[in-house]
């Protein structure tokens, strides 16, 4: 069964994806932080996506940090600077900034599933939509320090996770959900991330 993804219509161009990253950077004020785990997984993703030592060095330099401790919190702006540098450096290889972001999201999702929390969600029971959406809720609660995601099921075959504040681009979210759903054997027919406000978004999965 074919799975489709659908971020907002403007995100199909590399230019728009890059512009969206710049807007995320503008909104990432100092009170917003992200766990070091995500920084480390993004550096790992850069290597897996073909970034050489020089690209990795530039990404780390852009973040303003020298290393990351998994459970410490670092400025979200630093993470966006790291990702923006990686997306620009790898866009030639993958055809667009948006595709790099999607691939980075997929690698981030894989990294999450290799953690103790990720392995635990594999044991969850429930319907197909419930299992995946509960896993996503756990992920979003654990990685950021702002806003509690709200989960709803408008239909038996659809789940929606409403996130109050997120700085990651839409393509990143969709790539991450694709990877997590594959690992859980719960691949939806459709995955859609859409902004509902300057920082808020809905993650919709349908079967």
Residue with tokens 């950021």: 144
What is the pTM assigned to this prediction? 0.88
Q: Percent of the chain, pLDDT > 70?
A: 90
Count Cβ atoms below 10 Å from residue 51 Cβ, excluding itself. Answer: 21
| Cα–Cα distance measured from residue 159 to residue 97, given in angstroms and rounded to the nearest whole number | 28
Strand runs labelled E in 99-200: 150-155, 158-163, 190-195
pLDDT for residue 123: 79
Segment 100-122, tens digit of pLDDT:
999 999 999 998 888 888 888 77
- Indicate the fold that domain 4-206 takes in CATH: H-NOX domain (3.90.1520)
pLDDT for residue 157: 87
pLDDT band at 186 (very low <50, low <70, confident <90, very high): confident
Tokens of 132: 């995946």
Residue 198 DSSP label: S
């Amino acid at each position: 069964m074919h799975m489709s993804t659908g971020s907002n219509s403007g995100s199909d161009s590399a230019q728009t994806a890059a512009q969206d990253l710049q807007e995320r950077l503008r909104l990432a004020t100092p009170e917003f932080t992200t766990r070091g785990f995500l920084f480390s997984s993004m550096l790992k993703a850069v290597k897996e996506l073909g970034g050489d030592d020089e690209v990795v060095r530039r990404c780390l330099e852009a973040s303003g940090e020298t290393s990351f401790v998994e459970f410490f919190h670092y400025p979200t702006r630093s993470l966006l600077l790291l990702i923006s540098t990686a997306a620009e450096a790898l866009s030639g290889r993958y055809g667009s900034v948006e595709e790099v972001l999607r691939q980075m999201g997929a690698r981030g999702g894989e990294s999450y599933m290799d953690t103790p929390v990720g392995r635990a969600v594999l044991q969850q029971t429930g319907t197909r939509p419930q299992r995946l959406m509960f896993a996503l809720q756990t992920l979003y609660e654990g990685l950021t320090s702002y806003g509690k995601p709200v989960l709803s099921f408008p239909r038996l075959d659809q789940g929606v996770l409403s996130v109050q504040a997120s700085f990651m681009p839409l393509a990143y979210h969709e790539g991450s959900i694709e990877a997590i759903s594959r690992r859980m054997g719960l691949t939806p027919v459709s995955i859609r991330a859409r902004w509902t406000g300057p920082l808020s978004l809905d993650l919709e999965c349908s079967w």
